[in-house]
Amino acid sequence: MITVGCSFIPIPNGEAMKYIFTVLYCLVFFACTQNTLLAKNVTKIDYIYDPGMLRPIDSQLKIVVGELAPDFSLPSIRGDNITLKQFRGKNNVVLSFVPAAWTPVCSDQWPGYNIAQKIFDDQNAVLLGITVDNIPTLHAWVQEMGSVWFKVLSDFWPHGEVASTYGVLRSDGTADRVLVFIDKKGVVKEVIITDINVRPELEDLVDALKKTNVN
């Protein structure tokens, strides 16, 4: 027998226990579901580290427009090694140096290039994303962002060697936010250096890419 309000409703003991356990199970399941969803939302926000406002530019460019871009070989998160010279005579190349994984502007910039894939295809160009983070960090970050279509390369070791060669390595060991446009002959055609705290304008990238593809 169980009590509902002030009334007594006779229910066999077995059925009463089954009823009580069913209600408790539903309540616990609902609570766990809500906590899981809340935890996911909080965790997703916590993944992104906000370094605050940084010195806009903290490097001295070493490459020169009109000269050959320094070659390099870097591992990608897909398990292969990418060299700049492998695109010589085949594709224009855009190098996108960004400071660090799991930071707000970088997490906004690279996924934004997903809408521009056709533009790169039309200009016979490939995009190579480069940071000084290691492969596991980059892999996890890209997966969290929902993946990107272009190659993501690690300039982790020797630490920042390519960024240093190009003159975009900051004093704190990260890279400045820089886009380098290289034609099929391997010549640097344009360089866009952006305030590290701001996402580069897609329109500027498209204009520079079209100029790179003129020859």
Residue 29 and residue 89 share a domain: no
Give domain status of residue 131, yes or no. Answer: yes
Do residues 124 and 130 lie in contact, with contact meaning Cβ atoms separated by under 8 Å? no
Residue 37 and residue 91 share a domain: no
Give domain status of residue 163, yes or no. Answer: yes
Q: Which of 99, 91, 214, 215 lies closest to 150 in space, CA to CA?
A: 91
Token digits for 106? Answer: 């970088």
Residue 174 and residue 105 share a domain: yes
Q: Which of 10, 104, 62, 6 lies closest to 191 in space, CA to CA?
A: 62
Model pLDDT, residue 49: 87
Model pLDDT, residue 165: 98
Give domain status of residue 129, yes or no. Answer: yes
Residue 184 and residue 91 share a domain: yes
Domain region containing 10: 2-47
Residue 103 and residue 9 share a domain: no
Pairing verdict, β 73-75 and 7-9:
unpaired
Would you give per-residue pLDDT tens digits along the chain (215 residues)?
A: 433 344 444 545 666 555 555 545 444 444 443 444 344 444 445 678 898 999 999 999 999 999 999 999 999 999 999 999 999 999 999 999 999 999 999 999 999 999 999 999 999 999 999 999 999 999 999 999 988 999 999 999 999 999 999 999 999 999 999 999 999 999 999 999 999 999 999 999 999 999 999 86
State the pTM of this model.
0.79
Residue 10 and residue 98 share a domain: no
Model pLDDT, residue 15: 62
Q: What CATH number does residue 153 fall under?
A: 3.40.30.10
Give domain status of residue 68, yes or no. Answer: no
Residue 130 and residue 24 share a domain: no
Give domain status of residue 65, yes or no. Answer: no
Residue 206 and residue 110 share a domain: yes
Give domain status of residue 97, yes or no. Answer: yes
Residue 133 and residue 202 share a domain: yes
Model pLDDT, residue 51: 85
How far is residue 154's CA from residue 76's CA, in Å, rounded to a whole number? Answer: 6
Q: How many domains does the chain have?
A: 2
Residue 79 and residue 28 share a domain: no
Give domain status of residue 135, yes or no. Answer: yes
Give domain status of residue 172, yes or no. Answer: yes
